[in-house]
Structure 1
Amino acid sequence: MHHLGELWDAAGGPRPGPVTQWWWQQASGIRAEIDELPFVRALGDGTLPVDAFTWYLAEDALYLGRYAQSLAAAARLATDEAERAFWQECSTSAIATELQLHESWVAPEVVERTPPSPVTTAYLDHFAAVESTGDYAVLVAALLPCFWIYADVGDTLAARNRPGHPFADWLSTYADEAFAEATRRAIAIAEAAAQRAGSGSRQAAARAFRASCVHEREFFAAPLR
């Protein structure tokens, strides 16, 4: 297990280990595409139509409900007590975030009448398929982009916040240090799991990580597609 202090780079961001760094480098093109998506750019500059934002939040709430189940599955598969506690806490936090979204941004009835989009369904089916393998290293690799990409995109968006920004309150949530710390922890756990895994499991983990990165891109693209 990497000590959390080892995950800081000079800029204060996450410093992955050799395996997770390789995954991140392989996904660099996907990350660049996310930054250029109309939804992300419009959210940052404040020109995003409110109905697109509301739709995104409703889909995100639906996503988080299922994602929390995948986090709980990681907790069940973890053999390390600290890792088990981390995933369980994240699972609980995801549910709390979903409820906060309901209460603060989107009325519960809006979420209830919003069907999961094909993009949301595909992402959640991906988690279900990975869970079914019962492979801890592969599952945590699949879960990681939701932490890492969200935190990375969030850093960019938080930097574009300003007084009077129509989505100022939402962008300020991206600057949450607790989530940054959870992201560093998730990277460390995924790194350690990949290091322990056999070659076949490590290759499957790399594929799962990249697939989740693609799903993240499609999720950010969907509101304005």
Structure 2
Amino acid sequence: MPDDTWDAEVAARYDTPGTGMFAPEVLGPTVDRLAALAGGGRALELAIGTGRVAVPLAGRGVPVAGIELSQPMVDQLRTKVDDATVPVVLGDMATVRAPGVFSLVYLVFNTISNLLTQAEQVACFRNAARHLEPGGRFVIELWVPQLRVLPPGVRATVWHDEPGYLGLDTYDVVEQHVVSHHVHFDDGRDARLFRSAHRYVWPAELDLMAQLAGFERESRHADWTGGEFTAESTSHVSVYRLTERAA
């Protein structure tokens, strides 16, 4: 996948106010949980994007900073809040440092999977640890790989189908890679395609990454409201507490 996946065109149409991941029933519980986990301290969002979560979290009185790889996404964020309200450091969330120490670092909406190697994902955990005060928390929201629906010999699955939109994933099960294809269309012949590459991570593998970075798992739920995580859950919200400060 190209390095400019999150370009100006994508950033301009990323926000969907009131619907999808911006719907109140999705965003509200996310902000509620993160505000509680921050415990009155500072929060750092890795891959802050256009500020979907950071802006309302800052509105709740939580001091929020961010790290973001895409300048166009930050430009879109700046149409909502200035740098004094939500400061952002431009760079790779696996390596870049933001000033200060935080009580909470969070990484939502499957974004750790945008790091395409296991080594990069482990580095992201270690970078989160470097930003946290002792006992601080790292929160990850991530989907559970749905390989049970992939028949032998089949490399693609359709995961969403509605008028004007088709979502499908193509898998490389050797490298744990998946490319998500989002196809938007109307009644004519033209369609718009957006693709994003990911490395999927099993929950147990995520827990091991956390241990390597000095964390222990505090909780895992199926969603932001605290629903029970089961074998049938398609995603999870995992909270890790720092037990050893990273170098």
Greater length-normalized contact order (CA 8 Å, ≥ 6 residues apart): 1
Instruction: Flag whether TM exceeds 0.5 (same fold).
Output: no
For Structure 1 versus Structure 2, the TM-score category normalised by the shorter chain is under 0.3
Task: Return the structure number with greater helix share.
Answer: 1
Greater C-alpha Rg: 2
Task: Return the structure number with greater strand share.
Answer: 2
